[in-house]
Amino acid sequence: MDMNDVQEALTALVAGIRSTIRTEFTSIWLPIQFGIIVAAAAIALAIAAAIRKRFDLVSMTMTWPPYARLAVRAVMRHVGAITFIILLVVARATIRAAIDHPRTYILSVAIDLTTAWVVINVLAGVIRNQFVNRMVAVTAWTIAALSILRLLDPVIAGLDSITFNLGTIRITPLLILKTAVLLMLTIWAAITVSNFLEKQLRGFPDLTPSIQVLLSKLVRIALLTFAFVLVLNSMGIDLSVLAWFSGAVGVGLGFGLQKIVSNLVSGIILLADKSIKPGDIISVGDQFGFVSNMGARYTSVDTRDGREYLIPNEDFITQRVVNWTYSSDLVRLDAKFNTTYDDDPRKAQAAAVAAALSVPRVLKTPPPVCHLMAFGTASIEYTLWFWIKDPGAGIMSLRSDVLLALWDTLEREGVSIPKPGPARVIYERAT
């Protein structure tokens, strides 16, 4: 760091400020201009409040074209500042017309600063992200304010004079600020474009959901990488430093990022082979539900009880996963029941099939089937098979509906279900 350059930059900045103070702040026009600014601000606030109270723009512009509606609402949001600018312009023009050689520098600065603020906020309104919106607005207005006050060049020279050397790279506060602002804008632009392309991909019915997710992830990664490289290149940073960065990443992979990379690779494999895709009904361990979202690191599985499980992608590769809708939406379920030996088994089977068909969600094709499984010690054992096409609507509730229908049908047909006898309790007395 060269301290002489820093000292010269600070001296130039202080000299510029002192010159402005000497010429503008030691005149009788100073209180006059500030009085005009305060009066104009009070009048502008009153006018803006009256306009907002008198006109309901939301209802008035409801049927207008979208761009006209947005423009009018943007003007209404800044109606106070616009009125303030108009009042100051009129006051400055009146003073210049009535008095020879008046000092109106403060009025001009107030007009320029307010105009810059309004224009920047209106233009930044296209950015939906509130954080990025505020950062862009504040940064742009700060630059505009320094330019209006004729302090931009001294500030830039001061920031560029503080130098740190990192190898062959010359780093200054100015370079850091430029890089941060440009990186924020390019990342925002990359994310916006990737979101737009993702919406467009969803409109292609020929692409499966997994392929749509895979393409959108690849596009997002490519755009973010391009934005990062573009910023480094535009700032004059040698891209060979990425070799050092890749080496550091390699060391990190060896010491603690294995799981993260494993989940990333597993997610790409799942999207590529389409073994699991959004909308599938799956079971992983004790979790049962439908796949709602497939991310780079985890897959979201929604259950019927309102909970959402975030399962690492690696688990789908290393564990046994049941995909109920992998190749077909048909799912076969079963319900087991017993009857007494006094009842005809064929009659019990027919009653079970009729009970299953009475449930709306049970398919008629393939038809339900009831099998006699075994002759037990106290009853005859049966298994009822039936098919559904909507496992995402719930399986436990459907099995409950089938069992209730089976209870009613067997009772109506006179088929008895054996009931357990009273429990026998044996007491042993110590002798």
Q: What is the pLDDT of residues 53-101, one digit of tens each?
A: 777 666 666 676 766 666 666 677 778 888 888 888 888 888 888 887 7
Secondary structure element (H or E) that encloses residue 254, with its range: helix 241-255
- Of the candidates 113, 157, 118, the residue with the CA atom closest to the CA atom of residue 11: 157
Rg, the chain, Cα only: 37
Q: How far is residue 179's CA from residue 181's CA, in Å, rounded to a whole number?
A: 6
For the chain, domains (ranges, CATH) are: 3-162 (no CATH), 331-413 (3.30.70.100)
Model confidence at 189: pLDDT above 90: no
What is the pLDDT, as a whole number, of residue 384? 92
Note if the bond before 66 is cis, omega within 30 degrees.
Answer: no
CA distances from 156 to 17, 34, 159 (A): 15, 29, 5
DSSP letters spanning 66-105: HHHHHHHHHHHHTHHHHHHHHHHHHHHHHHHHHSSS---H
Using CB atoms within 10 Å of the CB of residue 278, give its burial: 0 to 12 exposed, 13 to 18 middle, 19+ buried: middle
What is the pLDDT, as a whole number, of residue 317? 80
Q: How far is residue 194's CA from residue 205's CA, in Å, rounded to a whole number?
A: 19
- pLDDT tens column, 103-140: 777 888 888 888 888 887 777 766 666 776 777 777 77
Model confidence at 210: pLDDT above 70: no
**pTM score of the predicted model:** 0.44
Q: Using alpha carbons only, what angle is made at residue 345 by residues 341 and 349, rounded to the nearest 5 degrees? A: 140
Residue 298 confidence class, pLDDT cut points 50, 70, 90: confident
Residue 430 confidence class, pLDDT cut points 50, 70, 90: very low
As given in the structure block, the two tokens for residue 41 are 């601000």
Dmax (CA) for the chain in angstroms is: 129
Residue 425 confidence class, pLDDT cut points 50, 70, 90: very low
Using a pLDDT cut of 90, give the percent of the chain over it. 11
Query: Higher-confidence residue: 8 or 400?
Result: 400
- pLDDT tens column, 223-264: 888 887 777 777 666 656 556 556 666 665 555 566 777 777
What is the pLDDT, as a whole number, of residue 358? 92
What is the pLDDT, as a whole number, of residue 290? 78
Model confidence at 382: pLDDT above 90: yes
Most confident listed range (29-38, 90-99, 147-156): 90-99
What is the pLDDT, as a whole number, of residue 368? 93
